[in-house]
Amino acid sequence: MKESGNISIHTENIFPIIKKFLYSDHEIFLRELVSNAVDASQKIKRLSSIGEFNGELGELKVKVSFDKEAKTITISDNGIGMTAEEIKKYINQIAFSGATEFVEKYKDKGDDKGIIGHFGLGFYSAFMVASEVEIISKSYQEGAEAARWTCDGSTEYSISTAEKDERGTDIILHIAEDSEEFLDEFRLKSILEKYGKFLPIPIEFQDKIINNPTPLWAKSPAELSDEDYLKFYEELYPFQEKPLFWIHLNVDYPFNLTGILYFPKVKNEFQLQREKIQLYSRQVFITDEVKDIVPEFLMLLHGVIDSPDIPLNVSRSFLQADSNVKKINSYITKKVADKLQELFKADRPGFEEKFSNIGLFIKYGMISDDKFFDKAKEFCLLETTSNKLYTLDEYAEEVQALQTDKDGQRVYLYTTDAQQQDAFIQSAIQKGYSVLKMDSMIDPHFINQMESKIEKTQWKRVDADSIDKLIDTGIQLEAVLTEEQKTAVKEIFEATINDKQKQVQVEAMSPDELPAIITQNEFMRRMSDMSKTGGGMGMFGNMPMTYQISINANHPLISKLVELPTEEEKKNLAKQITDLALLSQNLLTGADLTAFIKRTVNGF
C-alpha cells in the first residue's frame, strides 16, 4: 500500500512547545514583556512627535510590580495601548500563525535556544511562567474603549470590555505553581537590572527607577567628556581599575551599531575575560556571550555594543551565518586598529607607556587577523632589555648592521626571562647586540607569526647557543687547544656529567665568555613552549628537555684543566665548571646545589 499526505499541525500543541523549547532560561519572559511595554511607550512618543497624537503624553514609564498573595506579576505601561481589535490582531492572530510556523519548522529539531525573536512570539514567553495571562489595555485613540483579554494557555481566549481610565496596557501574569520563584523581590529586581539597566524608558520597581534611560553609547561623542566615559565604565564594572582608553563606535550604514569599547589595564593574561562585553539590541540587554560578533582577540576588551541588526536570537550557528555579524566583526576590528594608530601617532610617549597593557591585544590581534596585522605592524612595539621601544621597522634598522649573519639573515635575540638568562644577555650586550624582552604567554606564538611574515629574519632566544653561534658572522675564532686536547676535555666532561639529556661539545668561544654554558635548542624549546599554551605540537610538551653544554675551549680555566696532573683533579674541576654553568641558569637545585656549596666552601 502506498499513501501520501500532509502532516497537520494543531495549535493545541503550541503551548507545551513554547514552554519547553523557547528558552532554556525562563527569566527571559520579563525581558520580553518589559521590552514590549517600552516599545509601546516609544510608539506613542513617536506618534506625538509627528503630530498623530495630540493628547497629553505624560511621564512615560513602565512599572513592574508583584503580589505574593495573589501570585501575580504585573507589567504596566502608559504607551500606545491596544483596542480589542488590535489585541485580536496582534496577540491572537500573529502569534498563533507565528507559533504554527514555529512548530512546523522545529518539530524535528529538538531543543534549541532563543527562537523567540524570530517569530514575534515575545509575548507568549509569558506562558513559560504563567498559568493564565490577562491583558487590560486602552488605546491612545480618542474614545477608545478599554479591553480585557485572558488566556489560560490553551488555544482559547476570551475578550471583553474593561474598566481602565488611563491610556496604556497592564499585563497581569498569574504565576504557575512551578514558577513561584519569580514572586520574589530580589529575583525580579536582579532580572530587571540584568536586562533592563539601559532601557530607553524609565522602569519602576518597588517605587524606584532601576534603569539609566540614556546610556552613554546612545549619546553623541561630541557632547561627552573623559569623565563621562570613566563614570560610565564604573557603572558597568564597579570597583575596577580605570580603563586606559576607549573607542566610541557609531555607524548607521551598512548596519546599525553603537557602543563603547574600553581597553582595560591587563597586567597578566590570567585575569582576562573576567568582565565581558555586553551586547544590547535597542538598549535591551541580550547577552554577554559576544563570541562571533566581536573578533576573538577583542574579547579582551570591555564595554557595550548595541545593534538592532544583530539577531536577538543569539544561537551560535545562526550568528556565524549572519552576514551582518561578519560585517560588524570587521568594522570593529578596523575601528580598533584605527584608534590604536591614532593614539600612536598623536602621542608616542603616552602610547609607549600603555604598551605593557595593550601589547597583548595587539599581538593577539596580529596573530589572529591578517587585516589587523597589516595595520598593527606600524605601531606594534618591541621592547629591549634596556627598556627602549621600537616599531618593527625601527628595530630592523637598529640591528641591521651588527646582527645580520653571514647568510644575510637578521637575527633578533630575545629573552623570556631577563633574570634567569642574564649571563647570556650580558654576553650579547658585550658584543654590541640588542636583546628583546619577550616574556608574555602570547610571545612564542607572536614570534612564530613574525618569522613567517617578516622576511629574512630569525628569532633566537639568547640562551639557545653561544653568542657567536647565534649570530654567525662567519668569523671563526681559533681554538687554543689541539684537536686531541678538545677530545680529552669532552670525555672528561661527559664522564663527569654522565647524563644523556645533557650533550657536551667543545667550542672556540671568546675568552671573555664563561668556561661552560648550558643552552637549549631553539626549535625544540619553542615547540615545547607553544604546546604549553595550546599550539605547536603537543608531543613536545611531554618530551624531556635536552640541554647542550658548550665548553669554551679558549677559556683559561679549560686550559688549566688540561694541564692538571690527575684524572681526579680534572674531573673535580669539570664538575665545578658544570655546576657554575647550571647555577648561572638557575638549573642547579636540591641536593646538587647543597653538594656544590659544600665542595666550594671546602675549596673543592
Whether residue 583 contacts residue 516, with contact meaning beta carbons closer than 8 Å, is answered with no
Q: How many CB atoms lie within 10 A of CB 12?
A: 10
Among 18, 116, 136, 325, binds ligand ATP (CB under 6 A): 116
Q: Residue 499, annotated ligand binder? A: no
Q: Do the bridges between strand 147-151 and strand 157-161 make them parallel or antiparallel, or are there none, so unpaired?
A: antiparallel
Q: Residue 77, annotated ligand binder? A: yes
- Measured from the CB atom, the residue of 18 and 343 that comes closer to ligand ATP is 18
Name the DSSP letter for residue 25: -
Whether residue 487 contacts residue 496, with contact meaning beta carbons closer than 8 Å, is answered with no
SS3 142: coil
Name the DSSP letter for residue 115: -
- The Cα–Cα gap between 197 and 210 comes to 7
Among 17, 57, 74, 90, binds ligand ATP (CB under 6 A): 90
User: N- to C-terminal Cα distance for the chain?
Assistant: 101
Q: Quickly tell me which residue has 675551549 as its cell.
A: 553
H or E segment at 167?
none
Which of 250, 251, 232, 246 shows the shortest CA–CA distance to 336? 246
Write the binding mask 283 to 322 for ligand ATP: x where contact by CB under 6 A, - elsewhere: ----------------------------------------
Question: Would you count residue 169 as binding ligand ATP (CB under 6 A)?
Answer: yes
Q: Which residues does residue 257 pair with via DSSP β-bridges, in sequence order? A: 251
Closest residue to ligand ATP, based on beta-carbon distance: 122
Phi-psi region of 221 (alpha: psi -120 to 50; beta: other; left: phi over 0): alpha
Question: Would you count residue 91 as binding ligand ATP (CB under 6 A)?
Answer: yes
Question: Would you count residue 123 as binding ligand ATP (CB under 6 A)?
Answer: yes
CB of 98 to ligand ATP, least distance (A): 8
- Measured from the CB atom, the residue of 139 and 531 that comes closer to ligand ATP is 139
- Measured from the CB atom, the residue of 32 and 443 that comes closer to ligand ATP is 32
- The Cα–Cα gap between 194 and 285 comes to 7
Q: Residue 36, annotated ligand binder? A: yes
CB of 123 to ligand ATP, least distance (A): 3
- The Cα–Cα gap between 136 and 140 comes to 13
Q: Quickly tell me which residue has 543569539 as its cell.
A: 314
Q: Residue 156, annotated ligand binder? A: no
Q: How many residues bind ligand ATP (CB under 6 A)?
A: 18
Among 15, 21, 28, 32, binds ligand ATP (CB under 6 A): 32
What residue ranges in 110-176 does DSSP mark as E strands? Answer: 130-138, 147-151, 157-161, 168-175
Q: Quickly tell me which residue has 553609547 as its cell.
A: 217
Question: Would you count residue 200 as binding ligand ATP (CB under 6 A)?
Answer: no
- Measured from the CB atom, the residue of 79 and 515 that comes closer to ligand ATP is 79
Stretch that binds ligand ATP, among 30-38, 144-152, 375-383, 502-510 (CB under 6 A): 30-38
Question: Would you count residue 127 as binding ligand ATP (CB under 6 A)?
Answer: no
- The Cα–Cα gap between 380 and 349 comes to 14
Question: Would you count residue 38 as binding ligand ATP (CB under 6 A)?
Answer: no
CB of 305 to ligand ATP, least distance (A): 19
> Binders of ligand ATP among 95-114, rule CB under 6 A?
95
Amino acid at 459: W
Among 22, 34, 73, 80, binds ligand ATP (CB under 6 A): 80
CB of 311 to ligand ATP, least distance (A): 10
* Annotated binding-site members: 32, 36, 77, 82, 97-98, 169, 316
* Annotated binding-site members for ATP: 32, 36, 77, 82, 97-98, 169, 316
Q: Binding residues for ligand ATP, per CB under 6 A? A: 32, 36-37, 40, 77, 79-80, 82, 90-91, 95, 116-117, 120-123, 169
